[in-house]
Structure 1
Amino acid sequence: MTAFCLRSAKVSPWLAMALLALCASGCSRHKETVSAAAPAPPPAIEVKTTTAAKRLIRKSIETVGSLVPDEQVVVAGQVGGEITELTVDVGSAVKAGQVIARISPKEYELKLQQAEAALAQARAMLGEAGRRDPIDIDAAPMARQARAALDDARAQMERAERLVASGDLPRQRWDTAEANYRAAEARYQAARDETVMRIGVVEQRQAEVRLARKKLEDSAVRAPISGFVSVRHKSRGDFINEQGGNRDIVTIVRLDPIRVQANVAEIGVSYVKEGMPTRFTTDAYPGRDFPARVTRISPVLNQQARLLMVEAVAPNPQGLLKPGMFARVYVDIASDVPAVFVPLSAVVSVAGVEKVFVAADGKAVERRVRLGKRDGADVEITEGLKAGEKVITDNLDRLTDGMPIKVS
């Protein structure tokens, strides 16, 4: 009944106008509310950029190593006795063959005199022949006399043989002459054997003299190589036991050239060859490259670390490089290789992840990158950036990916 009345009733024009005005007012307030709730866009951050530069570089295998002496020798006493003289100390420069210590020589001088006297006695047993080297066996008195008796017996036997043949001498006399010859022959052989034995004695005495002379010479301790004394093990007055114990006196190292020992990862093994040029730096001389050349490569890799030991040799005429120094080694495997570089200040590192921001279409675009070698204030980008792209260099702490920017 009510619905019928509403549908049938006529609406006053004034009432309709009031309703329309009320609706328009409500819609206007709704639009104003929606507009007030929408956030304003962030203001563009003013930044500076630089162009990722393309450079030609040397491609290298980088590793670490240590410097070791070219030669290292522990000089020990070869004979026993008291050290009566020690002319070097740690840091002393020495030349090969230089006398650096002396062990008391008196005992060895006496032993040499004793050996020389025994040799003279043995030579005297051979007479005049014993004074010449080499000794002629037949020139020795005993052999010479026996040889003369043998020659006489041979002549007697031959004469008896002719007389027997002519009938002037009985056969019995020839038999006697032949027996005398055989006996002279045996005596001659015995004389030669005795002479050989006496010559053997002379040679033995000669060896004893040489040994005694060597021991006397060894009492003067000489440097086997040129270099520097790195360790002094003994002092003047110390006693060296020839039969055992520590006989070390000093350690000598040769520093020019000097060796660089480094380990190369398995991935770089195929690139490393003997004779390749290499270079290295040390903390003692920052920013300075020292040239070297690969001279030795181990035939096997370390099974635990999978590393290959490589050794290079570097000139060291001024002695600036010392054994034990830490070295950063670079084995150059290619030259004129194109690479991309940006300022190191343009790189942001967060939790071990490196990234840069590239300016593109008025926005900051985040790029994850991989770093390579450093060159002064710049760093190589090996992955994640191309040459020619614009890299943002300031206000990096205020940037996020996609943020509006204004390049100044």
Structure 2
Amino acid sequence: MRVRIGMLAASASLTLSAVSPAVDASARDTAPGDLVSAEPSAFHPLPGRPSASAAWKIHYRSTSATGEPNVVSGTVIVPEDGRTGPRPLISYAFGTLGLADPCAPSANLPKGGLAEGGLVDRLLRRGWAVVVTDYEGLGTPGEHTYTVGRSAGRAVLDAARAAIRLPQAGLSAESPVGIVGYSQGGQAAGWAAELHSSYAPELRVKGTATGGVPARLEELPEIHDGSSGAGLLLMMAAGQDAAFPELKLDSYLNADGRTLVQAVRSNCLAIDTTVGAYKKMSDLTVKNPLSTPAWRNRLHESDLGTRAPGSPVYLYHATGDELVPYDQGTGLRRSWCARGGNVHWRAVLLGGHASGVVTESASATAWLAERFAGRRTAGNC
């Protein structure tokens, strides 16, 4: 039975009382994308500068990496532009913000200051509604399943379903949907594109714009071990362990490793990457978990490129990306193209990982606008 929410203006909020990702019994009678709660929120692209929009924080049903029902939070934002009737909807997946609940987009969009807030504002100025997922375990009970692709892709698709089912948003089942994400969000958007046809075929997905995609996680430890990105390895290990407790991360860590992993679990990005920078896994572990078959198998389960997306994709990657190597992007392009995907590929010639999302945003947005306008694309495989 779908949860119906009304009279939000008269009621300050409809909030969760005893719902957690370890789902209550009633969750078994609901469907992915069903609303659990909604309450008024706000969107500030910059601190102290609200946008001309209405916003709601939502909790909605989704599905974990292991196929269990869970609850994920997010934010629905709709332009206050006088337009009536259904409009396009973007399901937006943020890049890495951290593992602790205060890092969640829904906790920060009302305050402003998120680096991608301006990009969300650009989409709203097009007249499009936007829903931003917090991902599994970020802003809800439990730990964030960082880099677990299947969980993230489902959260992105179910966020779109939830936004459509929020009466105040003015959307409908006929609303065209676009998917957008970069870095961690690029992995989530890529997984959403691959899962759409099987997991949420009723969504009218017109295209996915995804960049800086970590398509093959197993290759990252060798690149980042002992480098400035070593903290990201700790985050990845913690995220995989959150999804698959049988991996028993703590059993591989020495005292220093346990201290650092607890630090990344408890803080947001600036702290996460700083505390682990230039650390070697050999200095933090009694045995490197990322080198064991059990861990490698789980990392492989998040590989992208094993199936073609069900709708066109705008895929881009910076040639100078220092965190997610360029060949991860070109490899994903080859895999999707070999499986018959409709892929528009763009090599970003200037800048590195952090700048890629900004420098390519205008082109990616224009490409999505063409998809919403019904124009066909053959890609450039």
Give the TM-score normalised by the residue count of structure 2.
0.18
Higher relative contact order (CA 8 A, sep 6+): 1
Larger Rg: 1
Query: Which structure: greater strand fraction?
Result: 1
Query: Which structure: greater helix fraction?
Result: 2
